[in-house]
Amino acid sequence: MIMAATIPHIETITFNDWFLAIIDTPGIPIDEIETRAAEGFKRKLTERQFQQLTELIHLISFIKHRRFSNHTLALRIYVDENTSSLSRTALVEAVRMLPPEDNKTYELVAYLAQKNKLERYTNITKVPPLQIYQGDGVFEQYDEWILLFELFGLTQATPNDFIPAIAHLLIIKNLGIPDLRALSKLMSTTHKLGILSQSFMNNMPPHLCNGQIMEKYESLLLKLQINDLLTEEILEVIYPLLNQLDALDAFFSLYHEELSHDSALSFLREILPPFCAMSLPSKENYDDQVPTNTPLHLAVIESDKGNLERTLAFSNRNLLIKCSYENTALLLACKLADKESARLILAKMQELGCDVNQRDHHGMTALHWANFYHFDELIRELEIAGADPQLKAANGKTCEYFYQHQFTLKDLKLNGKEIIDGEFKLSDCALTDIAFHMDKIALNLKLTTPSEIAELYARDEMAQIRSSNRFYLFFKLFRPKLINWLEKQNDLEPQVTYRFSGQNSSA
Q: How many residues does the chain have?
A: 507
Rank 51-55, 365-369, 455-459, 489-493 by mean pLDDT and report only the highest.
365-369
Tens of pLDDT, residue by residue over 251-282, are 999 999 999 999 999 999 999 999 999 999 88
Q: In angstroms, rounded to a whole number, what is the distance separating the alpha carbons of residues 170 and 110?
A: 12
Q: Is the pLDDT of residue 180 over 70?
A: yes
The pLDDT of residue 500 is: 38
Instruction: Name which of 28-32, 33-37, 138-142 the model is least confident about.
Output: 138-142
Domain assignment present for residue 249? The answer is no
Residue 126 has phi, psi (to 5 degrees) of -75, 130
The pLDDT of residue 390 is: 95
Q: Is the pLDDT of residue 24 over 80?
A: yes
Domain assignment present for residue 441? The answer is yes
Residue whose C-alpha is closest to residue 485's, from 410, 398, 376, 406: 406
Q: In angstroms, rounded to a whole number, what is the distance separating the alpha carbons of residues 294 and 272?
A: 13
Residue whose C-alpha is closest to residue 155's, from 166, 147, 146: 166
The pLDDT of residue 150 is: 86
The pLDDT of residue 466 is: 59
Domain assignment present for residue 116? The answer is yes
pLDDT tier at 177, thresholds 50, 70, 90: confident
Of the candidates 79, 106, 122, which is a domain's last residue? 122
Of the candidates 104, 122, 140, which is a domain's last residue? 122
The pLDDT of residue 274 is: 97
pLDDT tier at 304, thresholds 50, 70, 90: very high
Domain assignment present for residue 430? The answer is yes
Tens of pLDDT, residue by residue over 313-370, are 999 999 999 999 999 999 999 999 999 999 999 999 999 999 999 999 999 999 999 9
pLDDT tier at 507, thresholds 50, 70, 90: very low
DSSP class of residue 449 equals: -
Q: In angstroms, rounded to a whole number, what is the distance separating the alpha carbons of residues 207 and 203?
A: 8
Of the candidates 122, 139, 164, which is a domain's last residue? 122
For range 101-129, the mean pLDDT:
88
pLDDT tier at 8, thresholds 50, 70, 90: very low
Q: Is the pLDDT of residue 298 over 90?
A: yes
Domain assignment present for residue 454? The answer is yes
With beta carbons less than 8 A apart as the criterion, state whether 360 and 327 touch. Answer: yes
Domain assignment present for residue 362? The answer is no
Q: Domain range spanning residue 490?
A: 399-505
H helices of 80-118, where?
A: 85-97, 103-114
Residue whose C-alpha is closest to residue 431's, from 397, 400, 383, 404: 397
Tens of pLDDT, residue by residue over 61-71, are 999 999 999 99
With beta carbons less than 8 A apart as the criterion, state whether 229 and 197 touch. Answer: no
The pLDDT of residue 254 is: 97
Q: How many distinct helices (H) and strands (E) make up the chain?
A: 27, 4
**Average pLDDT, rounded, for the chain:** 87
The pLDDT of residue 458 is: 79
Domain assignment present for residue 355? The answer is no
Q: In angstroms, rounded to a whole number, what is the distance separating the alpha carbons of residues 183 and 379?
A: 52
Tally of structural domains, the chain: 2
Tens of pLDDT, residue by residue over 217-258, are 999 999 999 999 999 999 999 999 999 999 999 999 999 999
pLDDT tier at 3, thresholds 50, 70, 90: very low
Share of the chain above pLDDT 70, in %: 87
Share of the chain above pLDDT 90, in %: 61
For residue 381, give the amino acid letter: E
pTM value? Answer: 0.80
Residue, of 334 and 126, whose pLDDT is higher: 334
Residue, of 433 and 273, whose pLDDT is higher: 273
Domain assignment present for residue 153? The answer is no
Contacts of 173 (CB under 8 A, 6+ apart): 179, 208, 209
